[in-house]
A and B are shown apart, each in its own frame.
Chain A
């Protein structure tokens, strides 16, 4: 019996993706080294000293390896499929319970504390949600286009996400956006992905520049997509681009004109507050120009184009044109609601972080301080870095949270561009292998789960590193496998190794 089994199944060598394991091990070990460097100071403890973060992290990592082995070799991989629904339910209950039972840690209610040990149910939730999604999407009769099924998927994602927002952990909730990549792979319309990007772009443009800029950008994008879809790129270049360019420069022409007509009025500030222009203009003899403001012109033009496109779409029964019209209308709505969301939905500290990120506010003492110091630390590393344990910025304590959320600063400072590239490439290899392996799988469950893992890792990677180098707002999420912290380390290990176990199962017999 035993021999027969051995005939069928392939050995460890072939069934485990050693690339992923190698990246995993390298990242955890490199993580420990950098945690040690980040707490290293005038009286150096040993890296193994259990009173400091690096020593503790060694224990966490050792524990994580044990978990990895257990997941890989002890549990039957089928168990994950079985426990997915109850696990999802239990974790959801924990997520809600923690709001009422936890103590306040920096304004968020997301930590359970048992004596010295504390953990975030949100970490577990990433695993259970991934498993649960994998289960739903791997059902025989599952169809993304079926509204009922799509609703189930959306609910499975949005319920934990909303709960985590209620815990005031908006950052962790953002990670759930990662599932959109998996959904895309499983057949979600690419438009939804584009729409997501569009929302972010319009939001930023509206806040940083103006509603007008945002609308012009929207028009440019939609017309580009439309014409490339209809393969009329050339006519787009010759006919539409000049008009769009004219629209883009219209506000400047308008201001130049007004400056000449109504001398003395400082109309440059109209960029900031359009109502100033109105007041100045109203008082002058040129008040009849008011209805010809760029905003009104654009409005009339857009209304005209949209109505024309709708008529045409109706005549041609063209889905693409309908989508374009839809995108335009959604985009316009978004643009006008962006400032509302910004002012009324976001919390104060989030608003500040976004303003700092967009360069609208110089705030080196407050929210901008962390980012600035983190960029100083990373930027001072140069090409090869200052050398291990030779970094000054992180040791002086300029960078806060330096062994957890801002651990990448230590890499940047002491290992330079090379070290950064090394770390990023390790993650990229890992995610790339995850995508590849998942795609290879015949079991839908494994595939969906693999994409979930890849997406989650990617979100963490991009948001965390992006935050330390000032291209993302400061969102307190750890760098997977690297940042100090036991619960996140164990959660990511479990997350990754469940996939490896599932994958191994697949490789063994097929």
Chain B
């Protein structure tokens, strides 16, 4: 059969049409992949945000609660359909500027195709009052709606640094926790909020709706079968005593430093003050204050209690004394002379204040004699038991580390630093293997030189002495039904020094505060009538300026309830500022108030401004 060209073309036309129809048949009828996909396109996901867990103090007081705020969402697509929008009225209702509103609207208009159907958050966290006003006028602003968010509320001004803040996830967080967060979610950034993020955040819920052809949400998808309700976060009970914390913060106002209070028996942190710190008002509005906080030259963001590196000063004499006793190179009744210091080389002397001489161990602790502990440290390092000073030093270092120095205590507080205790190899490197001896590193005897510790480690030392030889790892979260804590916080951590030796030094700490030895006392100012306070002062030399004032104390002597370490930078003698601060906190903790006789002390501390002058840039 011969076909004409017209017929061939007609056949071609029919074949082409058939190809189109066959293809249509296959995607429209035989394959339901596209129908399902169109349903997915038609689904609207509405996030249900969980309320974050509440943070309590040890007495059931709310430190961090929640309150309601509203985000204002806008649909760019609906926006582009509006003929008229009163931006002035909108700005008024939302309590913002007209420029802001117009700027945002312009942005949504420019990117309307890219943004598509997604609602955009125009303003975050407006107050319920503003939101009510917006609701009343909602008819004027059809493309806008509110979304409830629960935000943090701080009813009690205590522990800004400790609690940390919550803010929206940033690109970093999203990368670090892939799949867990979406932009717009909140995450704990610092402090307890960060450390306990997984407990606190709860689980986001989701409601799925179907849209119909007019883009209005119709009904729950599959009758809500796939909907998920939000699961609120777990509440956290902290070990903090809110009132003590608050009082500590007030005492430390206008001072740079830290106060850490620990319950010795349990290792629970009662207060943890880093000053200058962040006020909870600033936490609540972190977005507004963030730059101000970050650029503050006094670095309020730095949590000095776990991140500050300080020479411990004279409080470290306790450690050396205990090591000496345990090693058998020191007996409590050993006396050493002190002629205003210790002459360790021709013409070189480590100085001391004036006091009677010679002294035994307890008096040396009570008056904080420098020379005495030089002898002790000499005897430790020059012990015949060891072949070399390196061996002796390493052995000493093991002792020190068993007190929790030079390593992380592994508390549950994030960003804890380890402090630093030098090693013999470090000295070998500096001076050569045979190039150093006890005299070279004599400052270590009195807690100066290369020793650096955090205030938390000092408080832990105090708790260890109070317990006579052991501590529990300091921690800030209490065990509760919803939030379990690690077993390690329940275990006793023993030092390498026997309990017996501790009993020998405690009397010296008692004398330091309450008097009773044959020589002078350094910590009288910390004495509280009716309480057997034991303490040890420290005046740590500060290469950057005035000496740091250090004080550790615990009470009562026989059944210690609290151990405190106070560290005030650039404040002079330990007894001048750190002593009163620690002692006042202790008094408040036991008595709930400051007795009238000691009111003057409180006034003096409150009134003092010890902020070091800023270095000129």
Query: Which residues of A pack against B, CB within 8 Å?
Result: 40-44, 181, 184-185, 375-383, 386, 389-393, 395-398, 412-413, 416-417, 420-421, 424-425, 427-428, 431-432, 435-436, 439, 458, 462, 465-466, 469-471
Contact in complex: B5, A184 (CB < 8 Å): yes
Name B's interface SS.
helix
Q: Is the CB of B41 within 8 A of A376?
A: yes
CA distance A432 to B34 in the complex (A): 33
Task: Confirm or deny: B35 has a beta carbon within 8 angstroms of a beta carbon on chain A.
Answer: yes
Chain A residues contacting B20 (CB-CB under 8 Å) are: 424, 462, 465-466, 469, 471
Q: Is the CB of B17 within 8 A of A424?
A: yes
Partner of B17, one of A44, A428, A435, A439: A428
Contact of B88 with A by CB under 8 A: no
B35:A185 contact, CB within 8 angstroms:
no
For the complex formed, measure the closest distance between the CB of B211 and the CB atoms of chain A, giving whole angstroms. Answer: 6
Interface size class of B (residues with CB under 8 A): 35 or more
Question: 1/0 contact trace for B3-25 toward A, CB 8 Å?
Answer: 00110011011101101110111
**Cα separation A366 to B25 with both chains bound (whole Å):** 26
**Closest partner residue, chain B, to A400 (CB atom):** B113
CB distance from B397 to the nearest CB of A (A): 54
Whether A416 pairs with B14 at a CB distance below 8 angstroms is: no
CB nearest neighbor in A for B78: A42
> CA–CA, A470 to B33, complex, Å?
15
Q: Are A381 and B19 closer than 8 Å at their CB atoms? A: no
- Whether A392 and B213, one on each chain, are in contact in the complex, defined by CB atoms closer than 8 angstroms, is yes
B105 neighbours in A (Cβ, 8 Å): none
A379 — which chain B residues lie within 8 A by C-beta?
27-28, 31, 33-35, 37-38
B117 at the interface (CB under 8 A from A): yes
Q: Which residues does B use to contact A, with CB under 8 Å?
A: 5-6, 9-10, 12-14, 16-17, 19-21, 23-25, 27-29, 31, 33-35, 37-39, 41-42, 77-78, 81, 116-117, 211-216
Residues of A contacting B41 with CB < 8 Å?
376, 392-393, 396, 398
CA distance A398 to B21 in the complex (A): 24
Q: How far apart are the CA atoms of A40 and B215 in the complex, in Å?
A: 10
* Cβ contact of B213, chosen from A391, A417, A427, A469, cutoff 8 A: A391
30 contacts between A and B (CB under 8 A): A42-B215, A42-B216, A43-B81, A181-B12, A185-B5, A185-B9, A375-B27, A376-B34, A376-B37, A380-B35, A380-B38, A382-B35, A391-B213, A392-B41, A393-B38, A395-B215, A396-B215, A413-B38, A417-B24, A417-B25, A420-B28, A424-B20, A428-B13, A428-B17, A431-B13, A458-B16, A462-B16, A469-B27, A471-B20, A471-B23
- Note all chain B residues with C-beta closer than 8 A to A428: 13-14, 17
* Given A42-B214, A471-B19, residue A378 in contact with residue B10 (CB < 8 A): no
New contact pairs (8) apart from A42-B215, A380-B35, CB-CB < 8 Å: A396-B215, A417-B28, A421-B21, A424-B20, A428-B17, A431-B13, A432-B13, A436-B6
Contact between B6 and A395 (Cβ–Cβ < 8 Å)?
no
CB contacts (< 8 Å) of B29 on chain A: these are: 382-383, 417
Contact check: which of B9, B13, B213 meets A395 at CB < 8 Å? B213
Contact (Cβ within 8 A) B24 A420:
yes
CB neighbours (8 Å) of B25 from chain A are 417
* A435 interface neighbour in B9, B213, B216, Cβ under 8 Å: B9
A44 to B343, CA, bound (A): 98
Contact B6 A435 (CB under 8 A): yes
In the bound complex, what is the Cα–Cα distance between A431 and B13 (angstroms)? Answer: 8
Q: Which residues of A contact B81 (CB under 8 A)?
A: 41, 43
A403 to chain B, nearest CB (A): 15
Q: Please state if B213 and A375 are interface contacts (CB–CB under 8 Å).
A: no
Give the docked Cα–Cα distance between A465 and B20 (Å).
Answer: 7
In the A-B complex, the 7 residue pairs with the smallest Cβ-Cβ separation, listed nearest first, are: A379-B34, A380-B38, A379-B27, A42-B215, A380-B35, A417-B28, A390-B213
Residues of chain B with a CB closer than 8 A to A420's CB:
21, 24, 28
User: If the complex has contacts A42-B216, A428-B13, are A185 and B6 also in contact, measured as CB distance less than 8 A?
Assistant: yes
Nearest residue (CB) in B for A465 is B20
- A396 is contacted by which of B35, B39, B78, B117 (Cβ under 8 Å)? B117
Q: Which residue on chain A has the smallest CB distance to residue B14?
A: A428
Distance in angstroms from B89 CB to nearest chain A CB is 21
